[in-house]
Amino acid sequence: MSTTAPSPLLSESLKGLGIDAGTLFFALNYDFTKIESKGLLKRFKKNKEAIDIDLACVLYDTHCTIHDIVWFKQLRDRAESVKHQGDSLNGKDRGEQAMYLAPLDQEQIRLSLEKVPLNITHIALIANSYHGHPFSRVKKGEIHLSDDEGNRCFEVNLKQIPRDCTTLWVAHLRREIEDWHLTLHNLPLSAEDMVEAAQGVSHELARALPIPQGI
């Protein structure tokens, strides 16, 4: 389910994309979008009335079992190879320099691929709307992946995501012998939070594993 152009989804090695596989940045940039609330909801804080989008990187072992989840509740994995740079609650609280189309992203996760433990073979990139507001309701915004020189692997326009989607399996990285293979999915998930989403992706990855051959 592509949310960008109707061309085939991206599936290529990082070297094939001309991307430096040393350090990647999974990032989010979106315009502050206030959601009108009614009744008792008006008593909530302003950040409860604005769309709050969160990013996560989920690390899986060779059996597609969850090893670590890096998100706003856990800012780094055990090996400190993946680090969350800090949570934005509404796309506005990072200041003017981090507003949409400015130089800085409001939310960013740094992946030092050379430090990822060898038993980790998959890394899923996931986005979730914390309060359950559809991504498509943002005024403007995008999710992207780039290397430390600013070369982008992909961009996902939040306005083009399926209308009711609140959780998205954006992409995943699969370890190869001397590189990582990137697949862009843009697959809406029925999960309501990151943990449930990570479990759903685990099942999808396991289904795609080669079937063991009988002796």
pLDDT at 7 over 60: no
Closest alpha carbon to 195 in 54, 5, 37: 54
Give me the DSSP letters along 5-66: -SSPPPEEETTTTT--SSEEEEEEEE---B----GGGGGS-GGGSB--EEEEEEEEETT--E
pLDDT digits (tens, 9 = 90+) for 46-75: 445 788 999 999 999 999 999 999 999 999
Residue 156's pLDDT band, with cuts at 50, 70 and 90, is very high
Q: What angle do CA 76, 147, 16 make, to 5 degrees?
A: 120
What pTM value is reported for the model? 0.84
pLDDT digits (tens, 9 = 90+) for 77-113: 999 999 998 755 444 544 444 434 444 788 999 999 9
Closest alpha carbon to 20 in 121, 105, 111, 132: 111
Sorted by sequence, the CB contacts under 8 Å of residue 64 that are 6+ apart come out as 122, 202, 203, 205, 206, 209
Closest alpha carbon to 30 in 154, 125, 187, 143: 143
Domains observed in the chain:
11-31+46-190 (2.60.60.30)
Question: What pLDDT is stored for residue 37 in this prediction?
Answer: 61
- Cβ-count burial of 204 within 10 angstroms (0-12 exposed, 13-18 middle, 19+ buried)? middle
Token code pair at residue 75: 């800012």
Determine the Cα–Cα distance for residues 124 and 136; give it in Å rounded to an integer.
22
Most confident among 9-23, 92-106, 156-170, 197-211 (mean pLDDT)? 156-170
50 Cα distance to chain centroid: 19
- Phi, psi angles (nearest 5°) of residue 47: -70, -15
In the chain, at which residue ranges do the beta strands (DSSP E only) sit?
A: 11-13, 23-30, 53-61, 66-70, 82-84, 107-112, 120-129, 141-147, 152-157, 167-175, 180-188
Return the percentage of the chain with pLDDT > 70, whole number: 79
